[in-house]
Amino acid sequence: MVIFGVDPGTMATGYGVIKVDSNRVSWIDSGAITPDSAASLWLRLECIYDGLWEKMNQHSPDFVCIEQAFYGKNVHTTLVLGHARGVAMLAAAKSGASVREYTPREIKKTVTGNGNAKKEQVQYMVNMLLSPPHKHMRSDAYDALAVALCDFQCSKQLFALKTTR
């Protein structure tokens, strides 16, 4: 099974791909799609969609997992982030994968054991669990891998619940 994690953003969208074989998980690919920051929003969204679609087409994921929007004080930022989430969901739908969503707190708690973990803690745990072959300059790729790991852990728990009933 292949799980594709997405950390959406209009300046950088992280992606992380993991493979699940029985109870083992391994790194396949990760990175960030970074549109031209001077481009208009619709061009950045097109770049994000095209980049995600290309990666999803390359890896044929069974599930695409997307971080839910963080509802901060700035409504405009939340709205713009919603656009990035929307193109990520569209790319996932076009790839034929099922879409799952997780809150930032849920992802951090699942990966680090602490729902208030800092980005450095998430990055450390992703490195410990997956050992990606190269370091990423942006945290977006690690965040996307964390989303995929969260889905892996949550799916294991859901499967365990179903088999005990």
- Closest by CA to 142, choosing from 128, 127, 129, is 127
Contact 144, 15 (CB under 8 A): yes
- Evaluated on CA atoms 60, 91, 149, 30, the torsion sign reads positive
Catalytic residues: 7, 67, 140
d(CA 83, CA 114): 28
Place of tokens 């009933």: 165
Contact 53, 95 (CB under 8 A): yes
Token representation of residue 147:
């989303």
